[in-house]
Every structure is written in C-alpha cells, then in structure tokens.
Amino acid sequence: MELTGNTILITGGGSGIGRGLAEALHTLGNQVVIAGRRQQVLDETTKANPGMRSVILDIGDANSIKGFAARVVTDFPALNVLINNAGIAKPENLAADAIDVADAEAMVTTNVLGPIRLTAALLPQLRKQQNSTVMMVSSGLAFVPLAMMPTYCATKAALHSYTESLRYQLKATSVELLELVPPYVQTELGGERQKTDPRAMPLDEFIAETMAILKAGPPAGEINVKKVYPLRNAEGDHKYADVFMALNEAMSADH
C-alpha cells in the first residue's frame, strides 16, 4: 500500500484505532473519509483534522450498505482504499441459566457480515483503480481467544479466515489485501477501563508501529506489532495451551 495519494474510507473512523489510523493517514496527505454511526464523534474528529470528511454508516444495517457504497463512489470517485475497522465487543456468560444471544448476533452482524457486505459492494470500484487496498482489522484474539468474549473472538477469527481467502481470490487483480492484527490496545472498545488499562498498548504507540510496518511493507500481508506476537504466534510456536491459560487466568482474575 502506498502511503500517500490515496482516497481512503475507514469504518469506525471516529474513535479508537480507526481514528488513530485516520489521523496518521490524513497527516500524510491522503483524502481520508471516516464512517460511523455517531455523528457527534465523526464531527469531533473532522473538526480536529481540517480536510478530513465523514459519512454516516450503520455497518450492521444490511439494507443500507449498497446505497451507502454507491454514494461514496459518486462523492469520492478516486476511492482506492477501504479499511474495515468498525467493530463491537461484549462479554458473554455462557454458563448462565438463560443465555441471551442478542449480543452474539449483533457482533456477528457488525464484525463479520458488515465488512463482507461493504467489501463486496465496493470491490467493483476498487478493481477499477490501478492500485487499491482492502485492510481488515482483526485481533490477536482471533488466534488465542479470551473465553469471556467468545463471540467477539470468533468473529475476528472468521474475519482472518475470510481475508486469507479473499487475498487468494484477488491475487491477479489490482486489489491488495492487508490484515491488521491489534493486540490489547488502550481504546474504548471494551469500555472506559480499557482506555487506561496499563496492560494495554497505548494507542499512539500502536499507531506509530503500525505505520512503520506499513511503510516497510508488511510480510505476507499481515500487520503485526511486536506486542501481538505471543498471541499471533502461539500455535506456530507450540505454546498455544500455555498462552491460552495465561491469558484467560489473568483476565479472569479481574472479573
């Protein structure tokens, strides 16, 4: 992915990792368009970054995605980069006497079906460009799950698998497939506590290391900061069981 001269759409671009990427790429002179459900959050981000644009999108609304994609292509005909970053995360108690699957269904819709639908709607536009990129934001938890968040971890594992297949199918086209694999980062994804949790990687450090990897060219299409190595490489290093137990015992102690 070239780091300048792009027109970039970032879902969930008003906060957290999405905003961090948006601001870093905007600073490099790209036309950045952020999308999300909360107008106030989008407005705060664009106001702080003159020239950045925003559009409202509920990634969980299947009926609106095709129309949204058509409007974006009309308004930004040079669009050549899609970053699927929007996501939600909620803990689930599967040992409860009664299990409400509403949260699970919402996570699957937002975290998996949303990126699949939006990517499919924008691929004709992206394939027209001489060079284009689709970046999927998965998670280190795609590779070693946090048991208290079973559906969230499963959605990220699904997104990783989907990205692998999409990359292979599009290998003869102009579309590059990248996967960003964040570790535990100080954002609001898991609530206010996560934003200041000392065990989480500071957001600015994560964005800086991510941009350095992008500049150098991510190996095998994956962007892995060093802090995510223990999760990403657990199975390959034959340490999966140990890493799984350490992760889940440490997090269980807090709840």
Query: 168: burial class by Cβ within 10 Å (0-12, 13-18, 19+)?
Result: exposed
CA nearest neighbour of 128 among 171, 73, 53 = 73
Tell me if 124 sits within 8 A of 101, measured CB to CB: no
Residue of 95, 37, 23 whose CA lies nearest to 68: 37
* Sign of the C-alpha dihedral computed for residues 194, 205, 20 and 217 taken in this order: negative
Which of 86, 89, 173, 171 minimizes the C-alpha distance to 136?
Answer: 86
Q: Which residue is listed with tokens 């407005």?
A: 43
Give me the active site residues, please.
Answer: 152
φ and ψ at residue 83, rounded to 5 degrees: -115, 110
Give the burial string for 85-99 (b: 16+ CB within 10 Å, else e). bbbbbebbeeeeeee
